Amino acid sequence: MDIELSSEDLAFTKEVRAFFEENEMAKGEDYFVWRNNWFAKAKEKGGWDVPKWPAKFGGPGWTPTQHYIWEQETAKANIPFDIPFGLGMLAPILMGYGNEEQQERFLPAIRERTVNWCQGYSESGAGSDLANLKTKAVLSEDGTYYTVNGSKMWTTLAHVADWIFCLTRTDDSGIKQKGITFLLFPMKQEGIEVKPIITLGGSHTVNTVHFTDVKVPVENRIGEEGKGWTYAKGLLEHERTGLAGLSKSLFELEKLKDQARTVTRGNGNLMDDSGYKAKIAELEIDLMATEYTELRSLASAAAGGKLGPESSILKLKGTEIKQRIQKLTVEASGIYSPAWGDKNIGLPFAKGGTAGYLNSRYFTIYGGASEVQKDVVAKKVLGLTKGSSK
Amino acid sequence: MNFELSEEQKMIQQSVERFVQDNYDLNTRISLSANDFGYSSDFWKSMAELGWLGLPFDESDGGFGGNQIDVLVIMEQFGKGLVLEPFLASVVMGGGALKKGASESLKNEILPGLIEGTKQLSFAYAEQQSRFDLEDVITSARKEGDGFILNGQKSMVQNAETADHIIVAARTSGGQIDEDGITLFLIDTNSEGLSMDNFPTVDGLRASEIILENVSVSEDRVIGNIDEGFEILQSVANDAILALSAEAVGAMEVLYKDTVEYTQQREQFDHPMSEFQVLQHRMVDMFMEYEQCKSMLYRATMESVQDPKAAQRTIHGLKHLIGKSGLFVGENAVQLHGGMGVTEELRVGHFFKRLLVIDSMFGNADHHLQKFTTY
């Protein structure tokens, strides 16, 4: 057992830092020009544009420690923002269950970031109980296309998406996990209507999406008809560790401390307040422990190819930590936390802090609510039987 | 970076695990705790023969050159049986102080017996007024001739009753709460002027209040430099915190697993209790606290091996978490065992009591949270 980074890992850290420095956005540079160049250069480094992809599909094939270093460094650096749906969520499903033709058709554009994807999973009656979904897909008599009817809800960034990967029901005769089919189709077509849902922080991120007689060629089906649940579930497990966002939280926590130091309190600042300081400390200790829970989970994955039981708690702890940082930001804003609207009133971080806090409430709801996560840990890790009462 | 134990460490882990399984059922522990020593001198001999008592000492001192990770391996398994033998007091604390500060001749005199199991040590750092502050020392050591005269009182001293020597922190200069001016002395327990008031602690172990009245000790019994004992004191406290935390992690594992098993067996309202979601989620919370404590223990231990000074802040974080989460797991294990949980008949209550004591040792959760904020 030792903590020391090998000389190879130290060299890798240096290389990553140097890359970030060389490719900083210049003053006045257009964001999209910079972003495209950045990813092109990262690709030349040997798959740094798709760090989590396996080497077989052009990823860098890093060790767990290298992934950890990358995450640490990216949290501190200014790098282009990525939307996870295509790269992190659909791509692994295409790699695992898509056929070669589908991989060749979709993966390059995902990698080049030229096509935006959204995830059509949740519905008004299928949230935590995702398998309850009702959006119907009916195969044509000649077997060449599906006709999709129904609605999706909470669809993140559907209003800017080019394509959707969508869970649909093709059979409702058996148990609800069976009869779900995984389809891909373009968003900009007749029969698709996207309506915004405005969340508590005042922003438009999620939507309702209605489908009326949308035609989807059968070549756009992943795997077999009726097996979509298995494919999606594999992804949810994959998603479990990705949502912890610990390196980002470390960065955000340091930012929060800096912000709290700008808040005057008597002759000092908020970081002199013993009550506030204690809350920050408790949060930081939890974060330090969770970081090592993540490292332990990476290490056991590397050793046995399987995530250990400790990985099951990462989403629960990671999302809770993100929320606590947001909450302490609101506390730091004090009397200015209610200031809303377009003007900058009082503390510069106050409005963003309040909006961030309100929006952060969904961290423990999406991707499997915390209570559902606990059900999973109870069953899968502790071996506790499921209640027979409904 | 890796979390794997070495082959040797795995062997030690297995042999300690087997020892605890074979020897430390609840009834044995209760009867050992009630005997004259408060533990088994046969077990102590076995531990010496198996080489466990020499593990953290340098090879040049007759040890096996281990470090805090080796101690973690032993203590975590000890925690699963709440082992009574004074490994922490004698080896980690007493022996640790000698390892860190004693002269070669003092080490040569004491360590071989300690490693063989024929000599025992105790470490007296706390005083009535000091609460958790290591630097708060009133007990005085006045220079006289080639030695010192000690006067004062030491509190909650573990393993003093069966120890041959006690390491005492006393003030040779400075004010009551100055870090400078503290000196560590190795004192024979049969010294004239030393008296002990022995008593049991709630976890089945023993402690003593020690009074020093004009106890004379020669200068060659000083550990480290005169007036500079604080650094050793702090370093021993840090190692003790790591060891206690490892023990706590072992105890927490027993508590959450016992609770899972109990709720699967016991039926209420015509169902096994493990089917009730409100209880399932509580057990998931217990499991998570256990895993988080284990992660923090690994972190603090590995950082300590690499650079003890830089690890100080993490150690404060660790002891905070162990105190808080240990009691959370203990209280909930008792709660989910219901009426049986508050009896002496099941082991959960005994593990809970040990976690309560661990929180009180070397600073509780609040103390270390406060210390953590000073960085």
Residue A390 — very low, low, confident or very high, per pLDDT cuts 50/70/90?
A: very low
Minimum-distance CB partner of B281 among A68, A278, A374: A374
Q: Rounded to an integer, what is the distance from CA B43 to the centroid of its chain?
A: 18
Q: How crowded is residue A303: how many other Cβ atoms within 10 Å of its Cβ?
A: 13
- Please compute the mean of the pLDDT values over residues B152-167 and round it to a whole number: 97
Lowest mean pLDDT among A223-237, A347-361, B17-31, B46-60: A223-237
Q: For residue B30, give how far its alpha carbon lies from the nearest alpha carbon of chain A (Å).
A: 30
Specify whether the CB–CB gap between B193 and B166 falls below 8 A: no
Interchain contact A372–B (C-beta under 8 A):
no
Which of A287, A288, A300 best probes binding to B when mutated, by most B CB atoms within 10 angstroms?
A: A288
Right CATH for B7-120 from 1.10.540.10, 3.40.50.300, 3.40.50.10540, 3.30.1130.10:
1.10.540.10
Q: Where does A117-226 sit in CATH, by number?
A: 2.40.110.10
Give mean pLDDT, residues B103-130.
97
SS3 of residue B313 by DSSP: helix
User: For residue range A165-175, what is the model confidence (pLDDT) as tens digits?
Assistant: 999 999 999 99
Percent of chain A with pLDDT over 70: 95
What's domain A243-381's superfamily in CATH?
Butyryl-CoA Dehydrogenase, subunit A, domain 3 (1.20.140.10)
Alpha-carbon span B152 to B150, nearest angstrom: 7
Chain B residues closer than 8 Å to A274 by CB: 370, 373
Helical spans, DSSP H, in chain A? 7-22, 31-44, 64-76, 84, 91-97, 100-112, 228-242, 246-261, 274-304, 314-333, 350-360, 370-376
Residues of B in contact with A1 (CB under 8 A): 2-6, 9, 69, 298, 301-302
DSSP string over B6-64: PHHHHHHHHHHHHHHHHH--HHHHHHHHHSSSSS-HHHHHHHHHTTGGGTTS-GGGTS-
pLDDT: which is higher, A300 or B138: B138
Q: What is the pLDDT of residue A386?
A: 63
Which of A167, A306, A151 has its CA nearest to residue A223?
Answer: A167
- In the chain, the amino acid numbered A180 is I
Q: How confident is the model at residue A76 (pLDDT cuts 50, 70, 90)?
A: confident
Closest chain B residue to the Cα of A371, Cα to Cα? B281
Q: B303 to chain A: nearest residue by CA?
A: A3
pTM: 0.93
What is the domain partition of chain A in residue ranges? 7-81, 117-226, 243-381
Q: A with B: how many residue pairs have Cβ under 8 Å apart?
A: 144
Contact across the interface for B299 and A385, Cβ inside 8 Å: no
**B316 to chain A: nearest residue by CA?**
A285
> Which helix (H) or strand (E) element contains residue B268?
strand B267-268
User: Token pair of A111, please?
Assistant: 């990698």
User: Which residues pair with residue A217 across a beta bridge?
Assistant: A145
Between CA A184 and CA A189 the distance in angstroms is 13
Which token pair is A75? 């949290």
Give the count of alpha carbons within 13 A of B267, CB side only: 3
Q: What is the CATH number of domain B122-228?
A: 2.40.110.10
Q: Tokens for B103?
A: 């002269």
In angstroms, the CA A4 to CA B6 distance is 15
Are residues A97 and A231 in contact, defined by beta-carbon separation less than 8 angstroms?
A: yes
Cβ distance A387 to B271 less than 8 Å, yes or no, reads yes
CB contacts of B293 in chain A (<8 Å) are: 289
> What residues contact A65, with CB distance under 8 A and at least 6 apart?
A5, A6, A9, A298, B1
The DSSP secondary structure of A22-78, one letter per residue, reads HTPPPTT--HHHHHHHHHHHHHHTTSTTSTTS-GGGT-----HHHHHHHHHHHHHS-
Query: How would DSSP label each residue in B54-108?
Result: GTTS-GGGTS----HHHHHHHHHHHHTTT--SSIIIIIIIIIHHHHHH--HHHHH
Per-residue pLDDT, A239: 53
**pLDDT > 70? residue A241:** no
DSSP state letter for A90: I
Model confidence at A305: pLDDT above 70: no
What is the fold of B231-372? Butyryl-CoA Dehydrogenase, subunit A; domain 3 (1.20.140)
Residue B153 CA to residue B127 CA, distance in Å, equals 7
Beta bridge partners of A182: A167, A222
pLDDT tens, residue by residue, B314-338: 999 999 999 999 999 999 999 999 9
- Write the residue in A293, A371, A385 that is nearest to B274 by C-beta: A385
Q: What sign for the dihedral angle of Cα A318, A323, A325, A326?
A: positive
For chain B, domain boundaries = 7-120, 122-228, 231-372
Dump pLDDT digits (tens) for A255-278: 999 999 999 999 999 999 999 999
Question: Of A234-238, A323-327, A344-348, which has the strongest mean pLDDT?
Answer: A323-327
> Buried b vs exposed e over B277-296: b needs ≥16 C-beta within 10 Å?
eebbbbbbbbbbbbbbbbbb
pLDDT band at A295 (very low <50, low <70, confident <90, very high): confident
Q: Tell me the pLDDT of chain A averaged across its residues.
A: 91
CB B259, CB B337: distance < 8 Å: yes
Rounded-to-integer distance, Cα B58 and Cα B62, Å: 7
At B185-235, the pLDDT tens digits run 999 999 999 999 999 999 999 999 999 999 999 999 999 999 999 999 999
Residue A292 has its nearest CB partner, among B263, B288, B295, at B295
- The pLDDT value given to residue B2: 82
Q: A77 exposed, middle or buried (CB, 10 Å; 0-12, 13-18, 19+)?
A: middle
Q: Are B229 and B169 within 8 A, CB to CB?
A: yes
How far is A283 from B337, CA to CA, in rounded Å?
30
Q: What tens digit of pLDDT does each residue of B302-314 get?
A: 999 999 999 999 9
Cβ-in-10-Å burial (0-12, 13-18, 19+) of A40 comes to exposed
For residue B295, the surrounding DSSP H or E stretch is: helix B277-306
CB count in 10 Å sphere of residue B346: 17
C-alpha pair distances (Å), A250 with each of A76, A269, B236: 9, 21, 30
Enumerate residues 6+ apart whose C-beta is below 8 A from A390: none
Quick one: closest CA in B to A370, which residue? B281
B-chain residues within 8 Å CB-CB of A278? 369-370, 373
Q: Considering only CB atoms, which residues of chain B are within 8 Å of chain A?
A: 1-6, 9, 69, 260, 263-264, 271-272, 274-277, 280-281, 283-285, 287-288, 291-296, 298-299, 301-303, 305-306, 314, 317, 320-321, 369-370, 372-373
Does pLDDT of A301 surpass 80?
no
Tell me whether A295 touches chain B (CB under 8 Å). Answer: yes
The two three-digit tokens of residue A281, written as one number: 């400390």
Percent of chain A with pLDDT over 90: 74
A179/chain B closest Cα distance in angstroms = 28
Q: What is the ipTM of this complex?
A: 0.95
Query: Cα angle vertex A67, ends A61, A72, to 5°?
Result: 155
Q: CA-based angle A137:A138:A143, to the nearest 5?
A: 125
Contact A292/B at CB under 8 A: yes
B230-280 confidence digits (pLDDT tens)? 999 999 999 999 999 999 999 999 999 999 999 999 999 999 999 999 999
